Amino acid sequence: MSATQVTDVDIPEAGDTGGIGQALRDYFVRVKGGEVGSLPAVAGLIVLIALFSVLQGTTFFTALNFANLINQGTAVIVLAMGLVFVLLLGEIDLSAGFAAGTAAAVLAVGLTKYGLPWPVALIACLLTGTVIGLLLGLLVAKLGIPSFVVTLAAFLGLQGVMLLIIGEGGTIGIQSDFLLAIMNRNMPVWAGWLLWALVILGYAGVTFRAIRARKAAGLSGSSASVWAAKVVSLAILLGIAVYLLNGQRQIVRAGKQACVVMGPPNEPVGCIPTLQGVPWAVLVVLLLLVGLTFVLSRTSFGRHVYAVGGNTEAARRAGIKVSSIKITCFMICSTMAAVAGVLLASRDNSVSPTTGGAQTLLFAVGAAVIGGTSLFGGRGRVIDAIIGGLVVAVIANGLPLITSQSGIQYVVTGGVLLVAASVDALSRRRSSASGR
C-alpha cells in the first residue's frame, strides 16, 4: 500500500475550521443524528433549578441548600459513576446499593468491633466491593447468567449479609474523624478557590495540548475560539458553584455574629461557628471523575468496554477478551459502590441495615440514564453520572420545599427516569435510522 496518494485524496473533517458557529452546527447535526448525550439532562437541570427558584426562591437558591444538595447527591453520584461501566456493557447491577451497604458494614465493624485503624478498615471496605464485583462478573461472564438475575439475587443476598455483619436491628456509629470529615467538613475558602483554579487550568491545559498535538500532526481539531469558549464557560459555571459554597451557610440571627472556632470549648459568647466552603466530598467526586474518565476514554481497556457494549461479537472477533472486560467492569462498579458506602456512612455518622437501601440504587441508575448513559450499552460517560445525579438531587431536594407529600416526589422522580429512558430509546432508534 503506498501512502503517496494521500495528498490527492480529500477527506474533509467535521468541525475543523469555522470556529464556534461551525462547532454548534456540527453539534446540532450530531444531536439530530441521535447522539444527544447529556443535552436533555443539562437542559432539564436548568429548567428544574429555574422552576424551584421561582416557586421557592428564598429556600431553594441559597448557599445552605446548595450544600445540602451536594450532601444528598454525592453517594448517588459515586454509585452512578460505577454503574456507568456496567451500563456501558448493556448489563445492569441491581445489587450496587446493597454492595455499598455491605461494604459500609465491613467498614463500621472493622472500626468498632475489631478496632482497626481507619486506613485498614477503609481498604477492607473497598476490597469487599471488589470481591462482590468479581463474583457478580464471574457469574455473568463465565456462566452466562443474565446480569439482571445475578444482581437481583445479590440484591437480596447482600441485604442478608449486611444484616449478619451488623447484627439485627443494630446501628453502628463511625468513629473516625477522617472518615466523618469527608461528608461533614468543608475546605477553607481559599482552598475552594485554589481547587477551582487547578481544575480550570488543568482542563484548559490538557485540552489545549491535545488540540496543538493534532495541529502539529496535520490533523484538524477544534478551533481556538471553541476551546476558549469551553474553558470560559466552565470557569464561570464552576466559579458560581464555588462562590455559592464559599458563602456563609450558617444562619446568623440578630445580635450574633459568625466566627471561626475549632471546637466547642473555646466558643465565645454571641458567636456561632461559621459554616462555609466547598465540601471535601466534592474533591472525592472530582478525583473519581478524572480517574475514571481517563480510564474510559484514554486507555484501550476503556475502548474495549465501549466495543463490547456496542457489538459483543465484533469485539470478540477483534481479539478482545470479552469476559475479562465484563468481569473488570463489574469489579469497578462494586468497588465504586463501596466508595459510595463510605460516603453514606460518613454522611449519616453511622451504618445501619438501611444504608444503601431504599431508593439509593434506583436513584443511581436514574442518575446515569438521565445523564445520558444508554441502557442498551455502548453509550455513556462518567460525567453523565454527575449531571444526572444533580438532576435527581435537585428533584429530591426541591420538591419537599414546595409540597409535603412524599408521594409526589416518587411519582415525579419515576416520571423523569421514564422520560430519560424514552430519550435514550428514541435516540438509539434515530441513530440506527440515520445510518444506511
Partner 1 sequence: MTNPAPILELRGVNKSFGAVHVLRGVDFNAYPGQVSALVGDNGAGKSTLIKGVAGIHSFDSGEYLFEGTPANVHAPRQANALGIEVVYQDLALCDNLDVVHNMFLGREEKAGLILDEITMERRAKETLAGLSVRTLKSVRQQVSSLSGGQRQTVAIARAVLWNSKLVILDEPTAALGVAQTEQVLKLVRRLADNGLAVILISHNMNDVFQVADNIACLYLGMMAAQVHTKDVTHGQVVELITSGRSGDLGVQPEILSNGAVA
Residue 378 is a binding residue for partner 1 (CB under 8 A): yes
- Say whether residue 432 binds partner 1 (CB under 8 A): yes
Helix (H) or strand (E) segment spanning residue 345: helix 322-348
Report d(CA 200, CA 179) in Å as an integer. 28
Stretch that binds partner 1, among 106-114, 133-141, 312-320, 365-373 (CB under 8 A): 312-320
Q: Binding to partner 1 by residue 425, rule CB under 8 A?
A: no
Task: Tell me 351's DSSP state.
Answer: E
- In sign, the C-alpha dihedral spanning 372, 376, 380, 382 is positive
Smallest CA-to-CA distance from 201 within 243, 235, 238 is with 235
Question: Is residue 124 within 8 Å of residue 110, measured between CB atoms?
Answer: yes
User: In 185-279, which residue ranges form alpha helices assigned H by DSSP?
Assistant: 189-216, 224-246
Stretch that binds partner 1, among 56-64, 101-109, 295-303, 396-404 (CB under 8 A): 295-303
Using CA atoms, how far apart are residues 110 and 104, in angstroms rounded to an integer?
10
Shortest approach of partner 1 to residue 280 CB, angstroms? 29
Residues 368, 338: Cα–Cα separation, whole Å = 17
Our CB check for partner 1 shows the closer of 249 and 379 to be: 379
Under the binding rule (CB under 8 A), the answer on residue 12 touching partner 1 is yes
Report DSSP letters for 361-429, one per residue: HHHHHHHHHHHT--TTSS---HHHHHHHHHHHHHHHHHHHHH---HHHHHHHHHHHHHHHHHHHHHHHH
Should residue 298 be labelled a site residue for partner 1 when binding is judged by CB under 8 A? yes
CB of 150 to partner 1, least distance (A): 24
**Does the footprint of partner 1 cover residue 426 (CB under 8 A)?**
no
Q: Are 17 and 222 in contact (CB under 8 A)?
A: no
Q: Is 34 one of the binding residues for partner 1 (CB under 8 A)? A: yes
Q: How far is the CB of 18 from partner 1 (least distance, A)?
A: 15
Q: Is 381 in the site for partner 1 (CB under 8 A)?
A: no
Residue 309 is a binding residue for partner 1 (CB under 8 A): yes
Cβ-based nearer residue to partner 1, 218 or 270: 218
Q: Is 177 in the site for partner 1 (CB under 8 A)?
A: no
| Contacting residues toward partner 1, per CB under 8 A | 1-3, 5-6, 9-14, 33-35, 213-214, 217-219, 298-300, 303-304, 306-307, 309-311, 313-315, 317-320, 378-379, 431-432, 434-436
